[in-house]
Amino acid sequence: MGAKTSAEFRAEAAAAYDKFVSEKKPDQLRALYDSLFNLNAALREEMQAATAETVKILISKLQKGLAPAPDEMEFIRLWLIGDAEAYLSRENDLQNWLKELERIMSEVSAGGAPANVRSAMGLQGTVADALGLVPGIQRYYEAQDRVKRFEKSTASLDSSTMLLISNLLESKIKSAND
């Protein structure tokens, strides 16, 4: 039996979500996370497998110092930062996260040491809330930074930039986690 397809992982994620919605238990949420993680990996692997030959041709072209045509450059962009651009275009909660983090941090920075155990636990709960927000904000800004760095580095395609792009494409083809 071979590896599961993205369609199978989509079905698993949907089932895991339904189970979480009905039971609202941490184990079901972890199962949903695992299903979504596996779906993401399968989508990446399927995309890479479907386009590997095209990428190999582009790598060869870049290594020879031949500038890619505009449609080839768009394909390279899709391969290297398409996931980041897709995430940035769909994320719609950043401003709320930032407002909530501002509210939490004003609470964290107010006052000195907690007066008693109950207030220390209250502050710890507030910090836990912030710890839940920061990864989403960080993911957004990292995706934004990847896009900006790609645009800046490909603004002019000299031989060193083409070599860098070919190296990035090669490493992405070889990596199971990119």
Co-location of 59 and 92 in the same domain: no
Residue 37 lies in a domain: yes
In angstroms, rounded to a whole number, what is the distance separating the alpha carbons of residues 160 and 21?
Answer: 51
| pLDDT tens, position by position, 119-155 | 899 999 999 999 999 999 999 999 999 999 999 999 9
CA dihedral over 129, 38, 58, 174, signed as positive or negative:
positive
Co-location of 18 and 38 in the same domain: yes
- How many domains, the chain? 2
Give helix 159-174 / helix 70-90 axis angle, nearest 10°. Answer: 60
Q: Which residue has the tokens 């993401």?
A: 40
Residue 175 lies in a domain: yes
Residue 12 lies in a domain: yes
Co-location of 49 and 83 in the same domain: no
Co-location of 94 and 60 in the same domain: no
Residue 88 lies in a domain: yes
| pLDDT tens, position by position, 38-62 | 999 999 999 999 999 999 999 999 9
Residues 80 and 150 sit within 8 Å (Cβ to Cβ): yes
Residue 144 lies in a domain: yes
pLDDT (mean) for 160-167: 92
Q: Rounded to whole angstroms, what are the CA distances from 34 to 10, 83, 149?
A: 12, 19, 30
In angstroms, rounded to a whole number, what is the distance separating the alpha carbons of residues 90 and 139?
Answer: 13
Residues 63 and 166 sit within 8 Å (Cβ to Cβ): yes
Q: 81 or 156, which is more confident?
A: 81
Tokens of 18: 């339904």
Q: Residue 175 sits in which domain range?
A: 1-68+157-178
Co-location of 83 and 151 in the same domain: yes
Name the residue among 171, 106, 177, 91 with its Cα closest to residue 138: 91
Residue 166 lies in a domain: yes
Residue 130 lies in a domain: yes
Co-location of 145 and 162 in the same domain: no
Residue 74 lies in a domain: no
Co-location of 151 and 83 in the same domain: yes
Q: Which residue has the tokens 């792009």?
A: 165
In angstroms, rounded to a whole number, what is the distance separating the alpha carbons of residues 70 and 72?
Answer: 5
